[in-house]
């Protein structure tokens, strides 16, 4: 009898607690919606949104500049990586004779070296 009473009490407590919890949740949700819809809150949200839109191009430009600077620093700190034509690449001495860099620093292979086609195999 004790276990049955305990289980009935547990079930009743769960049902009543769930109902009370749902009611409290609805109260909190209603209050939050009222606060969000308040004219002063919406005015502040609108002003903040306008400020973000006005500053977005400046922030994007600053982020781009910072990214380029960081990429250049990383390339200079990493042996064998070129960040452009101004950065010397010490790994070029390890390249085969048929590969060279153009004026922009990009690698190119000369035709007629090893590769597919007649007469290009060793």
Is the pTM above the cut of 0.85? no
The domain limits of the chain are 78-109
Contact 104, 112 (CB under 8 A): no
pLDDT at 62: 86
74-81 long-range contacts, CB within 8 A, separation 24+ = none
* 85: DSSP letter: T
- Listed residue (47, 44, 23, 25) closest to 35, CA to CA: 44
CA distance 110 to 96: 10
Return the top range by mean pLDDT from 5-19, 52-66, 88-102, 105-119.
Answer: 52-66
CA distance 42 to 47: 9
pLDDT tens string 62-91: 888 888 888 878 877 776 555 555 555 556
């Amino acid at each position: 009898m004790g276990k049955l009473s305990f289980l009935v009490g547990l079930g009743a407590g769960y049902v009543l607690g769930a109902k009370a919890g749902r009611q409290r949740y609805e109260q909190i949700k209603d209050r939050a919606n009222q606060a969000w819809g308040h004219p002063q809150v919406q005015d502040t949200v609108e002003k903040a949104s306008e400020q973000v839109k006005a500053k977005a191009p400046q922030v994007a430009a600053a982020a781009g500049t910072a990214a380029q600077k960081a990429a250049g620093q990383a390339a200079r700190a990493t042996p064998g990586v070129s960040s452009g034509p101004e950065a010397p690449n010490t790994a070029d001495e390890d390249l085969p004779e048929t590969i060279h860099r153009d004026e922009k620093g990009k690698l190119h292979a000369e035709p007629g070296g090893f590769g597919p086609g007649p007469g290009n195999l060793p």
